[in-house]
């Protein structure tokens, strides 16, 4: 299916192009009974991009029960209202993002565990891009979804004190992960699904770029 990347048989990345060479991502986690979503994109993302995936899997919108926003930016939350209307799912984000996301149903904090599909994701609070930015860590399968928390050469996305951002990245280096998935194909990696040594290389490159600011 165009614009869909299968990461595991229950975890999919749905890409929506923003401009040539640049896209944002929504993550769909299939469980036996429920479906979880990480980030919602724009107003047309559900119907044009996510719904065809669900239908192809023989699933219904009512199966979507939980949506996590990794942070407050428009390309991660503008689809919230449509998702909520069409699915009835609860929407969750970090408490520091709550004021900027009026569609939230509840908030989460560092260390909380969210069940998306049949996977458990631990909340890793990673301020730097935004105060309420989080990464979602699946410890069992060693997968982390970072949103915009690791932004490489996009130094304009470091919207807080650079030292806060750097400290968040150093914490990520300590995690045991085999796959890291960013929302955009940030350079120097130039892609958003990283494996093995690519993960540390991208995080360390992001730290180095921030340190030179």
Q: Is the dihedral of CA 126, 128, 132, 133 positive or negative?
A: negative
Domain that holds residue 41: 4-211
Q: Is residue 106's pLDDT more than 90?
A: yes
* Tally of domains in the chain: 1
- pLDDT (tens digit per residue) in 6-34: 999 999 999 999 888 899 999 999 999 99
- The structure tokens listed for 198 are 């690519």
Closest alpha carbon to 195 in 174, 176, 180: 180
CATH of the domain at 134: 3.60.15.10
- pLDDT (tens digit per residue) in 46-84: 999 999 999 999 999 999 999 999 999 999 999 999 999
Q: CB 156: neighbour CB atoms within 10 A?
A: 7
């Amino acid at each position: 299916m165009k614009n869909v990347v299968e990461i595991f048989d229950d975890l999919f990345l749905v890409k929506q192009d923003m401009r040539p060479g640049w896209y944002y991502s929504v993550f769909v986690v299939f469980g036996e009974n429920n479906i979880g979503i990480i980030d919602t994109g724009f107003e047309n993302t559900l119907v044009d991009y996510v719904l065809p995936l669900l239908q192809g899997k023989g699933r219904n919108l009512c199966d979507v029960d939980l949506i996590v926003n990794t942070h407050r930016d428009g390309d991660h939350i503008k689809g919230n209202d449509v998702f909520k209307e069409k699915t009835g799912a609860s929407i969750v984000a970090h408490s520091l993002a709550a004021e900027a996301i009026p569609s939230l149903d509840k908030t989460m904090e560092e260390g909380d565990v969210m069940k998306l599909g049949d996977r458990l994701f631990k909340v890793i609070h990673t301020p730097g891009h935004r105060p309420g930015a989080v990464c979602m860590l699946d410890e069992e399968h060693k997968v982390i979804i970072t949103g915009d928390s690791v932004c490489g050469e996009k130094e304009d996305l470091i919207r807080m004190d650079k030292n806060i951002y750097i400290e968040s990245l150093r914490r990520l280096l300590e995690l045991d992960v085999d796959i890291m998935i960013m929302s955009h194909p940030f350079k120097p990696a130039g892609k958003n699904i990283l494996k093995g040594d690519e993960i540390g290389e991208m995080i360390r490159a992001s730290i180095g770029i921030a340190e030179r600011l």
